[in-house]
Structures are given as structure tokens and as C-alpha cells.
Structure 1
Amino acid sequence: MLLQISPLSLADRPLIIRSFAGEDHVAEVDGLRAGWILQAESTPVGEWWWSLTGPSCALARVPNTGRCPSFEKAKAELAAAYSLWLEWALRQQNPVSWYSRSRDHQVAPPAAAV
């Protein structure tokens, strides 16, 4: 489902990265799924893949995927990409697109902010 949201509604909300299943992690902002960090299975051991899947990144021209040698690096790159997207979104005069699934609004256990 494609949502149109006001970027101001996200401006003061932290990006939360929490464990989802095994070595998989989900990134969320105010209950909306922003992306994923997964341990890549088909690549060298220890490589991590991140993806910014919530915000529509095409118009913002920010990276939306990457591969990293560590979870910490993947977390930092995902957070940096989200920050770039949010900076762009806040400059827009209109609501921006966010890809969502109905599950995005499920109650989840609290997690530490990035």
C-alpha cells in the first residue's frame, strides 16, 4: 500500500532498529516499517545487507540498499540513508510517498533508537 504522509510527522521520531527473526532486523519510524538489515547468506560470511524499503527514495536520489562487512556498519549506513531521505522530504511542500504493509502497524516490543 502506498501512503502519502507529512514528513513533519516523522521529524522528531527516532529510527528504531530491532531484531525481527534470527539475524534479521527491521527498521521502524513511528510504527512504520522503514527498512531491513539481513545477514546475507549467499555472500561471504559476515556480510550484511540493508535496504530502505518504506520511504520512496527515487525522487530524493538517496541510496536505498547496501552491503556491509558488519552489522554495525549496515546499521550506520541505513540510518544515514534514512536521514538523507528525511532531509529531502522535509524540504518538500507536499506529503511524500511511503510504502507500507498492513503489518507495519502491529504493536512491537520497544527497542533502542539508532
Structure 2
Amino acid sequence: MSLKSPTANRINPAAGERLKAQGMTEADDATDDDWKSECDDGIAEMARRRIPFQASDLVDEGLVREPANHHQWGPRFAHAARRGVIREVAATKSKRTASRSSRLVTWIGAA
């Protein structure tokens, strides 16, 4: 019988946040600058409307094309939130298969 170390499965939030930041940076670096600009403009437009919205609403409204990879949404929303353009109002798990039950956030304009 093999005994695992008592620290083998410990939660390490700091390490998790570092990995998240690394993944967001990698996704953003792989994103086309034209799409980034289009997405930032779409987020700003939805924020001005002062109604709750999600990434899919940007596509449904014709403001933004789907990104090449769904991971490219996160860095743009994080960027807008850091700049004070939007704020989170709710979160749940995505039902879209391609999103692999990722965190689905509802945003609203912060101004």
C-alpha cells in the first residue's frame, strides 16, 4: 500500500492564480490585434447600454465575431474590468460543450 504525502493534494490558490494569469497571457498573445480591438469596442458598447450581458451577446448583437479560440474572451473581459468599463454581476457554469463547463460571467457597465 502506498501512502501519499499529506500535502500532495493541498489547495494552493496562489499557484492556481499564477497559472490562470499565465494562461490568460498566452491566450491574449495568440489573439489577433484586430479581433482584440473589435472585442474591446463591443464590450464598451454593451457597457454603455447598462444592461447585463455575456460574451455570447456580443456575437448575437453583431458587435464581435467569434474568436479563433474561446479562451480569447477571458483576457478581453478581464482587461475591461481592470479599466473599470464593466463589473461582474453574476457567474455560473457554461452549458456550451466547447466551453467545457467553464465559468460563465454576466457583466454590466461599471460607469
Say yes or no: TM over 0.5: no
Q: Could you say which structure has the higher helix fraction?
A: 2
Larger Rg: 2
Q: In which range does the TM-score fall when normalised by the shorter chain?
A: under 0.3
Give the number of the structure with larger relative contact order, counting CA–CA contacts within 8 Å between residues 6 or more apart. 1
More strand by share: 1
Q: TM-score, normalised by structure 2?
A: 0.26
TM-score of the two chains, using structure 1 as the length reference: 0.26
